[in-house]
Every structure is written in C-alpha cells, then in structure tokens.
Amino acid sequence: MEELKGQKCVFCGKDTLTLMEDEVDVAFFGKVFIFSMNCANKECNYSKSDLEAAEIKEACKLTFNVESAEDLKVRVVKGSNATVKVTGLKMSVRPGPASNGYISNIEGVLNRFKKIIERVRDNSDDSKERKSAKNLLKKLWKVECGDLPLKIVIEDPTGNSGIISEKTKIEKLKVKK
C-alpha cells in the first residue's frame, strides 16, 4: 500500500490530507486498484474513495435476488460511477461527486440504505415520511432474517462493479449518449 500523508486538503486548506493507493485481488473478479483521500482535520473530515478494475471491463448491469440470510454474505464490488437500486424498497443511490467506490457484501450495501432510512425516520418533520421510513426498516429486517426476497441492481457504465455469485445475472448496460 502506498500512502502520502500531510498533503494539502482541497476543502479546508490544511496539510492534513492522506492519499492512499492499494492493489487488491478480489476472488472471481480480478485485480482492483483502491484509491482514497481522508482529511484528519476534525472540522473538515473530508473522505473520498474509489476503485478501478485493473483490466478494462464493459459497461454492465448486475441483478441479484436476495432470497435467504445466506445471500447477505455475497461479495459486492461497487465502482464510484455505479448506480445501486434496491427495487423492493423503491430506492436507489446514483453516482455523483460524493459517490464512493467500495468492496463490501450484500448486507453492507443494505446497511448503507438502512442508515439513510434511519436518518429520515429520526429527522423528518413529516409524519408520513417517518411512517414510510419505519415500514421500509421493517422490510429490511425481514430481508435480513431471510423472510422477504429483494432484488439488487447495480448499473455501472465503467464496468468497475461486480456481485460475486453464480446467481448474479450479468447484462450489457445500454449507456445513454
């Protein structure tokens, strides 16, 4: 792993930014380069990460059906340009300047959605939004117990994403021009 500490942070201007680069071999996916930037300044706390497949890959659409608690262990590689959709919850996270790439599993992906839903439940002034958030959290709990199936779709125009399972349906992504 290569690491450069004491770099100038573009957000707070202090020499508290650490740049890291690492190379990881993900089973059944291949070699991946991981990049991250983290600011140690407590007032700033900027963080950004991304990953890139070592070999050029085609734009892809990955579909995985979560049907049991065991499916939550399936490895996920998500590039920063990917859109993640959880169709059973009618939710999606689209890429943008703050979008991060990561390596996780299905449970980790669902936990990211769970945190968003919990923030809505805890901070919304709208009682309908809070009630809807509570219902979504109940659905997620049922998924975690293996009692409710769910579909996860990852669309990546760069091909830097993967759901590492024989159950994953892989299609060519039609990239809009």
What's the pLDDT score for residue 153? 97
CATH number of 1-55: 2.20.25
Does residue 176 surpass a pLDDT of 80? no
What's the pLDDT score for residue 175? 73
Q: Where in the chain is the domain with CATH 2.20.25?
A: 1-55
Low-confidence winner among 57-71, 82-96, 146-160 (lowest mean pLDDT): 82-96
End-to-end Cα, the chain, rounded Å: 37
Spatial separation of the C-alpha atoms in residues 51 and 34, rounded to whole Å: 4
What's the pLDDT score for residue 74? 97
Tokens describing residue 125: 């002034």
Give percent above pLDDT 90 in the chain: 80
What's the pLDDT score for residue 102? 93
DSSP state of 99: -
Confidence class for position 4, pLDDT limits 50, 70, 90: very high
Confidence class for position 36, pLDDT limits 50, 70, 90: very high
Spatial separation of the C-alpha atoms in residues 83 and 90, rounded to whole Å: 13
Highest mean predicted confidence (pLDDT) among 39-43, 48-52, 87-91: 39-43
Q: What is the pLDDT of residues 85-133, one digit of tens each?
A: 999 888 898 887 778 899 999 999 999 999 999 999 999 999 999 999 9
Confidence class for position 177, pLDDT limits 50, 70, 90: low
Task: Return all residues near 53 (Cβ < 8 A) that are at least 6 apart.
Answer: 29, 30, 31, 32, 33, 79, 159, 160
Over residues 157-164, mean pLDDT: 94
What is the rounded average pLDDT for all residues in the chain?
93
Q: Which CATH number fits domain 56-177: 3.40.190.10, 2.60.120.1040, 3.90.1640.20, 3.40.1710.10?
A: 2.60.120.1040
Does residue 43 surpass a pLDDT of 90? yes
Q: Where in the chain is the domain with CATH 2.60.120.1040?
A: 56-177
pTM of the model: 0.85
Over residues 36-60, mean pLDDT: 93
Does residue 81 surpass a pLDDT of 70? yes
